Each structure stands twice: as structure tokens, then as C-alpha cells.
Amino acid sequence: MPDEIAGQWPQVFVGVGEIARYSMVYEQRFKQWPTRLLALERLPDGTELQRFLRSLHDNEDIAVVWPDGDGFRTFSSHHEAIPWLAEPVG
């Protein structure tokens, strides 16, 4: 599985774990839930990992973005969470 060889899954898991930890600290300190965003270096090629990343918004309230040209892109299902940051992709 190419995603595993490149270490993409473990990197995403670490990122999601850090977001969860920082969210807990943020909520305790500021008494409100933060906007949660996972920024990727690039969109992975693997369809399973893309499906997992797409599901993060619905299941974990985490939007995912990656660079594209002079801006950022996101999944269309995440667009409402971060309309000020990214253009959606199908």
C-alpha cells in the first residue's frame, strides 16, 4: 500500500492526535471550542486516505486544507467550516 510506505497514515494520525490535544487545552483555557484545521503539505494520492480525510469534518469537526497555487484547497464537505480559507474540490 503506497500510503503506508510513504508514512502518510501515521503522519495524519499524529496530526489528528495533536489537534485533539490542543483542542482540549484551548477549550479549558478559553471556555470555547476552537475551529479545528489540519493543514497538509499536499493532498495524498491514496483513495482510502482521502476518504478518511474527507470524513474528518463530519466525524471529528476537523477541516482539511492543502496548498494549491497561491491559495489553499479543501473538500467540498469542509467548505462551510472554512469558507474564508479555501476553495472546495469535488
Give the pLDDT score at 85: 59
* Tens-digit pLDDT profile for residues 23-53: 999 999 999 999 899 999 998 888 999 999 9
Find all residues with CB under 8 Å of 46, minimum gap 6, and list them.
1, 2, 3, 8
Write down the domain spans for the chain.
2-89
| Position 17 pLDDT exceeds 80 | yes
Place of cell 470555547: 32
Strand ranges for the chain from DSSP E: 36-39, 62-68, 71-75, 86-89
Answer for the pair 71, 86: CB distance below 8 angstroms, yes or no. yes
